[in-house]
Amino acid sequence: MSLLPILTYPDPRLYKVAAPVTNFDDSLRTLVRDMAATMYDAPGIGLAAIQLGEARRMLVVDLAKEGEERKPLFMANPEITWASEEESDYEEGCLSIPEFYEMVQRPKEVKVRYLDRHGAAQEIAASGLLATCLQHEIDHLNGILFIDHISKLKRDRVIKKFQKAQKLGKL
């Protein structure tokens, strides 16, 4: 397993739409292992392949807290097939936008259809934090960042902060 560098905002690759996974070969299995290792090391609860510069529709999530058994969930080509009308607010952060957190409103529950690491079709119903995390990571695969869901004023502030840090060579 290798730890991979995580792209940080304002890297334009974060706005790319990822391509569907078609081959469930050794390179995909290696990417899956490296994604999990990178996510745990960061530390985070979700990571999309696009955040590693890999434009493949692949993500990993694991809500296990420190000291709990890790249960990573790998998804290829995830698609939200249903979302509740009821919404919930969660304070979100992102490994690609370090040290910035903001409340985001999303559907409280979702159903997601995906392929597991072996290419078998699966479906999951998620609520609460898992629903939020899945929506956040699927957004990444569609070239959307969580800051795209916040007010223009707050988004402009964080964009300016990260652009300044990039100019100063701090990213």
Q: Which residues of 1-16 are buried (b: 16+ CB within 10 A; e: fewer)?
A: eeebebbbbbbeebee
Instruction: Report which residue type is found at 34.
Output: D
Catalytic residues: 137
Pairing of strands 121-127, 109-115: antiparallel
Q: Is the peptide bond before 43 cis (omega within 30 degrees of 0)?
A: yes
Tokens of 84: 């509740």
Sorted by sequence, the CB contacts under 8 Å of residue 120 that are 6+ apart come out as: none
